[in-house]
Chain A
Amino acid sequence: MTVSKDDVRKIAKLARLALDESRVAPMEGELNGIFQWIEMLNEVDVDGVPPLTSVVEQRLKMRDDVVSDGGQADALMANAPGGEDHFFVVPKVVE
């Protein structure tokens, strides 16, 4: 499989990354170089092999369904690049 310039534009859109048009062609080349190298995985027969979802052999831990933390609005807002009172401010989303 090869990645086209349109694929690059499409995945940049999906990834919410503004990609300057001058970067599209070089990125196409870089990604194809990487994907060509990755192609070698197709040599391996993986039929019937289960995917590895965790290297940790333990059941997911359970905890009591209670409030354990909270009431820290000031700390949460301290790094907000646009914030007023306890609200994150963004450009208008709905007209």
Chain B
Amino acid sequence: MPNLTDLTLAEARDAVASKKVSSKELTSAFVKAIADARALNAFVTETPEKALAMAADSDARIAKGEARPLEGLPLAIKDLFCTKGVRTTAGSNILSNFIPPYESTVSQNLWDAGAVMLGKTNMDEFAMGSSNETSHFGPVFNPWRARNSNQNLVPGGSSGGSAAAVSGNLCLAATGTDTGGSIRQPAAVTGSVGLKPTYGRCSRFGIVAFASSLDQAGPMTRTVRDAAIMLKHMASVDPRDSTSVDVPVPDYEATLESGVKGLRVGIPKEYRIDGAPPEIDALWQKGAEWLQAQGAEIVEVSLPHTKYALPTYYIVAPAEASSNLARYDGVRFGHRAKDPHDILELYEKSRAEGFGKEVQRRILIGTYVLSSGYYDAYYARAQKLRTLILRDFDEAYKQCDVLLTPATPGPAFGVGEKTADPVSMYLNDIFTVTVNLAGLPGLAVPAGLTAGGLPLGLQIIGKAFDEATVLRVGRAIETASGFDAKPAQWWRTA
């Protein structure tokens, strides 16, 4: 048996099911790996006692022959998912003492399938960020460093803690959420797999809301197969989320190896951007060649409104956020300012003390674009742009079955490098954000390394509720790239 923390989710599942390894052994190995990796700051809250208790329960079920599909498999949960009795902060000071009295549907689905919780992962505050530097609990460091360099790099964001935990072998898999790229971008810059499902595939019940028309939960894993396994057990039709769609959850793993022969893969020409590093273009080209060699047909397509997606997003997402975050008022839960002399001061001070800089900035943008006299110029126009962006995809899908694009405009960058200019930070999501606006599924798959030795990913975008095909294409890329690089474990204390 290799090092237990090196196992993929699928390998661990088979090892536990065949009683080669107990859940207790597996869970203990990850608990230790997490304790040895505090330098990465990937977790806001570690739950080792809970993990070991859940593992003991799993081992008892296995002994009785009552194992469930994810029995005894240790996972990390982004700190945006409410977990009953376990602090859930959303990376914010305003929720730094919040202990949910209920469980999110996605995490409940995972526990019902037998999974074990290792802890809650760090993230950009309220999922607003692309580098995990806006967290109240400090930045997360990317397990990857450039060759011959000691510089700390960001793990992407907002699901940066989950990405670091997956890439650093601190869990078998993790949950993430993706509003503009928050699963796919961190997955890509940490050499991990990240899937944003179709809007409505996973329930949003119990996930701290950022932008409700865009938010979607999804898996972050080391392999495409693991993403298929995770999605099956995260997704459900939930009466507690009115946007959860009544479509049965298929067995994504069953069709994973079906290949791409005869599949039409679209290459959207608007994704070729000026100033992108040549390595990104070269990898994209290589990805198309890999799929072609396996029998796919490559077609050039056009998504003419692509360049308007990011500014559209920076109207829609802050507008929805400013409404969603109105609930944090210091009255019913969350941080409350000391000794306010009236109710208005209670609200204003609690919110000013509780929210960080980026969150405040986005609340102000959202308040402005929704305010009287500006609504039509900004919000209404952005919603119309969204229609045009969705129509672009509808047109493209007349000529192809999936789209292949780069996942990010570059590899991981240095901590502090992009914090001064908000727009330069926002541009990290340039390839991912269109997918959220159109509600489609998107998958980031590691595909290669830069000359400096940092991972880069490709993105596969599918039709609504066609995650099965997206995963199949991802698997084909994974097979062809043979990507198996791992970061050196510089963070280990023992």
Contact = CB atoms under 8 A, between A and B. Distances in A.
B332 A88 contact: yes
Contacts of A40: 307-308, 311
Interface string A8-24: 10011011111110000
A32 B383 CA distance: 21
Contacts of B385: 41, 44, 46
Contact of A30 (B243, B246, B361, B387): B361
Interface string A51-65: 111111010110100
Interface of B: 97-99, 101-102, 199-200, 213, 239, 242-243, 245-246, 305, 307-308, 311-312, 314-315, 322, 326, 329-336, 340-349, 351-352, 355, 360-361, 363-365, 367-368, 371, 374, 377-378, 380-388, 390, 421-423, 438-439, 464
Nearest to A40: B311
A17 B361 contact: no
Give the interface residue-count category, chain A. 35 or more
A34 B365 contact: yes
Given A14-B371, A41-B382, A91 B342 contact: yes
The 5 closest A-B pairs by CB, nearest first: A55-B439, A51-B383, A81-B336, A79-B333, A75-B101
A56 B439 contact: yes
Nearest to B361: A30
27 contacts: A1-B374, A8-B364, A11-B364, A15-B367, A16-B326, A33-B423, A34-B314, A37-B314, A37-B423, A38-B378, A41-B311, A41-B312, A42-B381, A50-B384, A52-B386, A53-B383, A55-B439, A56-B200, A61-B239, A63-B239, A75-B102, A78-B99, A79-B97, A81-B330, A81-B334, A82-B331, A91-B341
Contacts of B340: 91
A90 interface: yes
B345 to A, nearest CB: 8
Nearest to B340: A91
Contact of A46 (B331, B364, B384): B384
A26 B236 CA distance: 45
A49 interface: yes
Contacts of B349: 18
B390 A44 contact: no
Contacts of A27: 361, 364
Contacts of A80: 331-333
Contacts of B307: 40
Given A15-B322, A55-B199, A88-B332, A37 B311 contact: yes
